[in-house]
Chain A
Amino acid sequence: MSHSAKGSPASEPSWGKRSDLDVLNRDIPRVDGPVKATGQAIYTHDVRLPDMLWARLLIHPVPRAEIESIDLEAASEMPGVVHIEALKESGDTVRYHGDDAVLAVVAAETPEQAADALREIRVKATSLPPVVTRAQALEDDAPVVSRRRNADANVGRANERGDAARADAALAEAVAVVERTFEIPVQHHACLETHGHVVQPAPDDEPVTVYASTQSVGGTPRGLARTLGRDASRIRVLTPHMGGGFGSKFGPGLEGALAARVANTTGRPVHLMLTRADEFAIAGNRSGSRQTLKVGADSEGRLVGLKLEADKLGGVSGGSLPGPPYIYTVADDDAVSSKIRSVHTATDGSRAMRAPGHPQASFAMEAAVDELAYLLGMDLVEMRIRNLESDVHHRQLRRVAEEIGWAEHPHRDRPGTAVNGRAVGIGFGVSVWGPGGRSSRCDVTVRPDGSVVSATATQDLGTGARTYVAAIVAEELGLTVDMVEARIGDSDLPPSVTSGGSVTTGSSAPAIKDAAHKAREALEALVADVLGAPVGSYSWKGGRVSVRGDASRSLPWIAVCALLREPLVAQGEFRDFLHEGRIHGAQAARVEVDTLTGRVKVLKMVTCQDQGLPLNRLALRSQINGGMIQALSYGLLEQRVFDEQDGFLLSDTLDLYKLAGAQEIPEMVALIDDEDERPSVCGMAEAPVIPGHSAIAGAIHNACGARLTRMPFTADNVLETLYGKI
Chain B
Amino acid sequence: MREMDLPPDDLSAISRRSFLKGATQVAAAGGLMGASAPQDAAEPPALAEVETLSGSSAMELSVNGTVQSVEIEPRTTLLSALRTHMDPPLTGTKEVCGTGSCGACTVLIDGQPAYSCLTLAATCSGRPVTTVEGFGSPDAMSDVQQAFCDKDGMMCGFCTPGFVVATHAALERSPGADLDELKYELSGNLCRCGTYPHVFDAAQAVQQDRARGGEGR
Contacts and interface: CB of A to CB of B under 8 A. Distances in A.
A37 B149 contact: yes
Interface stretch (A316-324, A471-479, A662-670, A671-679): A662-670
Contacts, number: 183
Interface stretch (A188-196, A446-454, A701-709): A188-196
B104 interface: yes
Contacts of B178: none
Nearest to B88: A48
Contact of A33 (B98, B101, B148): B148
A37 B148 contact: yes
A495 to B, nearest CB: 23
Interface residues of A, number: 58
B112 interface: no
Contacts of B146: 37
Given A38-B145, A463-B155, A663 B187 contact: yes
A36 interface: yes
A654 interface: yes
Contacts of A126: none
Interface string A284-303: 00000000000000000000
A585 to B, nearest CB: 15
Nearest to B185: A662
Contacts of A618: 152
Interface string A425-464: 0000000000000000000000000000000000001111
Nearest to B90: A39
Given A29-B152, A37-B154, A244-B156, A42 B91 contact: yes
B138 A625 contact: no
A36 B160 contact: yes
Contacts of A276: 96-99
B196 interface: yes
Interface in B77-136: 80, 83-84, 88-99, 101-102, 104, 131-133, 135-136
Given A35-B138, A193-B156, A276-B97, A626 B148 contact: no
B13 interface: no
A648 to B, nearest CB: 17
A304 B31 CA distance: 80
Interface string A305-325: 000000000000000000000
Interface string A1-44: 00000000000000000000000000101101111111111110
Contacts of A644: none
A243 B156 contact: yes
Contacts of B149: 29-30, 33-34, 37
Contacts of B190: 192, 654, 659, 661
A contacts with B: majority SS: loop
B154 A38 contact: no
A256 B135 CA distance: 35
Interface residues of B, number: 64
A192 B192 contact: yes
A464 B94 CA distance: 21
A225 B197 CA distance: 42
B210 interface: no
Contacts of A167: none
Given A33-B148, A45-B94, A662-B186, A192 B141 contact: no
A623 interface: yes
B100 to A, nearest CB: 8
Contact of A626 (B132, B137, B157, B194): B194
Contact of A30 (B95, B132, B154, B182): B154
A36 B154 contact: yes
B66 to A, nearest CB: 15
B97 A654 contact: yes
Given A112-B73, A654-B97, A40 B155 contact: no
B76 interface: yes
A655 interface: yes
A90 interface: no
Interface string B156-195: 1111110010000000000000000011101101111111
B150 interface: yes
B145 A37 contact: yes
A619 B189 contact: no
B79 to A, nearest CB: 10
A241 interface: yes
A40 to B, nearest CB: 6
B56 to A, nearest CB: 9
Contacts of A462: 154-157, 193
A350 interface: no
Given A35-B138, A112-B80, A662-B189, A622 B158 contact: no
A618 B197 CA distance: 12
Interface stretch (A363-371, A533-541, A627-635): A627-635
Contacts of B92: 38-40
B152 A37 contact: no
A40 B80 contact: no
B191 to A, nearest CB: 8
Given A29-B149, A276-B98, A626-B195, A193 B91 contact: no
A665 B198 CA distance: 11
Nearest to A79: B55
B75 interface: yes
Given A36-B157, A38-B133, A38-B145, A661 B194 contact: no
A179 B95 CA distance: 46
A32 B99 contact: no
Contacts of A36: 148, 154, 157, 160
A129 interface: no
A479 B149 CA distance: 20
A618 B201 CA distance: 12
B199 to A, nearest CB: 8
Nearest to A194: B96
A39 B93 contact: yes
Given A40-B137, A275-B98, A661-B189, A622 B152 contact: yes
B154 A112 contact: no
A27 B167 CA distance: 23
A34 B150 CA distance: 10
Central interface residue in A48, A633, A659, A662, by most chain B CB within 10 Å: A662
A32 B2 CA distance: 48
Contacts of A246: 192
A625 B194 contact: yes
B138 to A, nearest CB: 4
B196 A33 contact: no
A661 B187 contact: yes
Nearest to A241: B157
Contacts of B164: 37-39
A242 interface: yes
Nearest to A656: B101
Given A48-B91, A112-B80, A668-B197, 14 more contacts: A37-B145, A38-B132, A38-B135, A42-B91, A46-B91, A48-B88, A193-B156, A618-B152, A628-B194, A629-B196, A630-B192, A659-B192, A662-B200, A665-B200
13 contacts: A37-B145, A46-B91, A112-B75, A191-B156, A193-B158, A243-B157, A244-B156, A276-B97, A630-B194, A654-B99, A654-B102, A662-B189, A665-B200
Interface of B: 55, 73, 75-76, 80, 83-84, 88-99, 101-102, 104, 131-133, 135-139, 141, 145-146, 148-150, 152-161, 164, 182-184, 186-187, 189-200
